[in-house]
Amino acid sequence: MAKPSGSPVSKLLHVPARGSHGHYQAIKRVLKVIDSLHGDGQFRPTQINVTKQTGYSGVIRVSSSGPIEIEVTEICSDPEFTAAHEIGHLLDVVGIDPDSLVFADQQNKDDLSGVFSAIMATDTYRGLREMGIEYYLDPAELWARAYSQWITLRSGDETLRKQLEATRAYDDDWLGCQTQWPEDEFEPIAETIDDLMQKLGWQK
């Protein structure tokens, strides 16, 4: 079984030590899960906060000179899974290509080409195309959803698995199509992420 290589992802992710909201503990839990799977946390210092914002579960804010900030909102019902999703965005922006500071939809990132090819071969992706929901087809969003599901699958973490299942149930009820993949369909995508982790030196 592959082991993490390089610095822990949590090394430069600052979670307030005295944050009182329960979501802070959820974020710390998922960081431990991520650290058990892969490094390399050699990127710009990033602050993770729990906020009272409404209208979304999580967001990442990136600037060329200022700090990077991740928000997980208090209304979020799946804080571990959402945090993993936003950390996927962080790795896209400053991990896979540290000098780019842009998301995968803003330039061609060759390292992610295998992941995207596997994603686009799935019925889930084709269903999203048929629905024409552009947000869910955004390459940056496809990567972040695949990364969070890879963390869930490869860790076997029960809390993440329950939150993934809740996301899929919500998609059925409210979207009429899936944004995450059934486990058997996801395995080829997971294998391309396994390969990516080895290529980047984040696993050994």
Q: Is residue 2 part of a domain?
A: no
Given a contact cutoff of 8 angstroms between Cβ atoms, the answer to whether 53 and 72 are in contact is no
Instruction: Report the pLDDT value the prediction gives residue 17, as an integer from 0 to 100.
Output: 74
Residue 133's pLDDT band, with cuts at 50, 70 and 90, is confident
Q: Is residue 137 part of a domain?
A: yes
Sign of CA dihedral 110, 43, 189, 59: negative
Instruction: Report the pLDDT value the prediction gives residue 43, as an integer from 0 to 100.
Output: 84
Q: Is residue 43 part of a domain?
A: yes
When divided into structural domains, the chain yields a total of 1
* Interatomic CA distance for residues 5 and 69, integer angstroms: 25
Q: Is residue 49 part of a domain?
A: yes
Q: Is residue 3 part of a domain?
A: no
Q: Is residue 141 part of a domain?
A: yes
Q: Is residue 60 part of a domain?
A: yes
**Taking the model in full, what pTM does it have?**
0.94
Q: Which residue has the higher pLDDT, 99 or 83?
A: 83
Residues above pLDDT 90, as percent of the chain: 74
Instruction: Report the pLDDT value the prediction gives residue 102, as an integer from 0 to 100.
Output: 79
Mean pLDDT of 79-106: 86
Q: Is residue 46 part of a domain?
A: yes
Question: Is residue 107 predicted with pLDDT exceeding 60?
Answer: no
Mean pLDDT of 187-200: 97
**Residue-number span of the structural domain to which 14 is assigned:** 9-200
* Interatomic CA distance for residues 174 and 149, integer angstroms: 20
